[in-house]
């Protein structure tokens, strides 16, 4: 089979990356899709079981922090494009160990930019470096206002500082070396396959196990929530139709205070688990706040809507139902990622290849 394009997707074994890999592998049988992932605790090849045997899918275990390995990957796979999602992604972990976030998110991104620059130096025509970023780079909003693509960067956590830094490097490579890049800054994602350290899957897991639900501070922090598959669809659109050297904000037009979201989640869980109404809410426990906790994120996604015609396809209620159903139907997945067995799975699956 001959392929007319090769795209490297970094972090393809993670939460959002796995949905992007699946979409591209299924939608573009004539593209060769290379999933480049080092498989940290957040990477899990079980996420891609349904497509792992497709002819146009390849998995490469490699670390973006290893510059030589990245050069070798570019030489071997000769990509036309890269969609870069690999990152350390959890704010609480960044507070414990900021350096890990500098290594992966900053140095890893610069390594990929250097490899792309070296490999594409003779002809950047038709090439694309797509950097997937977050709305957290803009810092926090007060009670009103929305993040625009022109909002100044003002990151408050080590995670958002590392993502902001990587965004700046991507932009600088565009200005200085003509790197054909696009950047998207997206709001909080939720959906199947999210590691149960983030709010939605952690709380689903705890409700199932009758464990307390640790609400940081007063629970009045606000986030804008987007169903992960709608993010993957936006990434496909921007990869193909976004303008070079542009940034697009992606969001769900869907703001929730944490405590209100948690109450909706509890109500759906009571219904799904045939528990008495109000049972799950009793698990809510207010705990010590996260240091530097951003009060509110809210995205103005009108640019991508007007210029590329993207909008979310599901309502929050629909997305949350789908998400909860997925977790309840995939209890083994949840069990294995929380017990660390997925590393053993990888060893037995790939160590002989």
Catalytic positions: 135-136, 159
Instruction: State the distance between the two ends of the chain, measured CA to CA, in whole angstroms.
Output: 22
Residues in CB range of 352: below 8 A, 6 or more apart: none
Asked if 85 touches ligand NAD (CB under 6 A), the answer is yes
> Mask of contacts with ligand NAD, 8-27, x by CB under 6 A?
--xx-xxxxx----------
Pick one of 21, 94, 101, 104: the residue that binds ligand NAD (CB under 6 A): 104
CA–CA distances in Å: residue 281 to residues 125, 222, 255, 267: 55, 19, 21, 8
Which one-letter DSSP state was computed for residue 29?
Answer: T
Residue 305: how many other CB atoms lie within 10 Å = 18
Beta-sheet strands, E only, within 85-202: 128-134, 181-186, 188-190
**Residue 346's binding partner, choosing from ligand NAD, ligand TYD, none, with beta-carbon cut-off 5 to 8 A by kind?**
none
Q: How far is the CB of 5 from ligand TYD (least distance, A)?
A: 32
> Mask of contacts with ligand NAD, 279-318, x by CB under 6 A?
----------------------------------------
- In the complex with ligand NAD, the residue whose CB is nearer, 32 or 163, is 163
**Residue 87's binding partner, choosing from ligand NAD, ligand TYD, none, with beta-carbon cut-off 5 to 8 A by kind?**
ligand NAD
Rounded-to-integer distance, Cα 252 and Cα 186, Å: 9
- In the complex with ligand NAD, the residue whose CB is nearer, 19 or 32, is 19
Q: How far is the CB of 45 from ligand TYD (least distance, A)?
A: 23
Residues in CB range of 349: below 8 A, 6 or more apart: 45
Count the residues of the shown chain that bind ligand NAD, applying the rule CB under 6 A. 29
Q: What are the residues binding ligand TYD (CB under 6 A)?
A: 91, 188, 198-199, 202, 214-216, 221, 223, 258, 290
- In the complex with ligand TYD, the residue whose CB is nearer, 284 or 308, is 284
Rounded-to-integer distance, Cα 214 and Cα 284, Å: 6
Asked if 42 touches ligand NAD (CB under 6 A), the answer is yes
Environment class of 67 (CB within 10 Å of its CB; exposed 0-12, middle 13-18, buried 19+): middle
Asked if 222 touches ligand NAD (CB under 6 A), the answer is no
Q: How far is the CB of 16 from ligand NAD (least distance, A)?
A: 4
Rounded-to-integer distance, Cα 266 and Cα 258, Å: 12
Rounded-to-integer distance, Cα 239 and Cα 182, Å: 8
Helix axes 158-177, 108-120, angle to 10 degrees: 20
Rounded-to-integer distance, Cα 341 and Cα 332, Å: 10
- In the complex with ligand TYD, the residue whose CB is nearer, 17 or 81, is 17
Residues lying near ligand NAD in the complex (CB under 6 A): 10-11, 13-17, 37-40, 42-43, 63-65, 85-87, 89, 104, 108, 132, 134, 163, 186, 188-189, 195
């Amino acid at each position: 089979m001959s392929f007319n394009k090769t795209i490297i997707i970094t972090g393809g074994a993670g939460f959002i990356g796995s949905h992007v890999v699946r979409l591209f592998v299924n939608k573009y049988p004539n593209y060769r899709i290379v999933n480049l992932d080092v498989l940290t605790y957040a990477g899990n090849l079980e996420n891609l079981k349904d497509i792992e045997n497709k002819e146009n899918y390849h998995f490469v275990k490699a670390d973006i922090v290893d510059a030589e390995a990245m050069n070798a990957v570019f030489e071997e796979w000769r990509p036309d494009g890269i969609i870069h999602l690999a990152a350390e992604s959890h704010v609480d972990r960044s507070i414990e160990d900021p350096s890990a976030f500098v290594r992966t998110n900053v140095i890893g991104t610069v390594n990929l930019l250097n490899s792309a620059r070296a490999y594409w130096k003779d002809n950047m025509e038709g090439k694309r470096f797509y950097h997937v970023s977050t709305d957290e780079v803009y810092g926090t909003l007060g009670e009103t206002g929305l993040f625009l693509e022109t909002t100044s960067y003002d990151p408050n956590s080590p995670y958002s500082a590392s993502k902001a830094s990587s965004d700046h490097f991507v932009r600088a490579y565009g200005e200085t070396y003509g790197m054909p890049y696009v950047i998207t800054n997206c709001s909080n994602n939720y959906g199947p396959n999210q590691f149960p350290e983030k709010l939605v899957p952690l709380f689903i897991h705890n409700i199932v196990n009758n464990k307390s639900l640790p609400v940081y501070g007063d629970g009045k922090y606000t986030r804008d929530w987007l169903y992960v598959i709608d993010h993957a669809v936006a990434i496909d659109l921007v990869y193909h139709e976004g303008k070079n050297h542009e940034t697009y904000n992606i969001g769900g037009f869907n703001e929730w205070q944490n405590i209100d979201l948690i109450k909706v989640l509890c109500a759906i869980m009571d219904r799904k688990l045939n528990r008495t109404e109000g049972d799950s809410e009793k698990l809510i426990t207010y705990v010590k706040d996260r240091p530097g906790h951003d009060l509110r994120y809210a995205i103005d996604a009108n640019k991508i809507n007007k210029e590329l015609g993207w909008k979310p396809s599901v309502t929050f209620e629909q997305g949350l139902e789908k998400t909860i159903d997925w977790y309840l139907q995939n209890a083994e997945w949840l069990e294995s990622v929380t017990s660390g067995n997925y590393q053993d799975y990888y060893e037995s699956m790939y160590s002989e290849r």
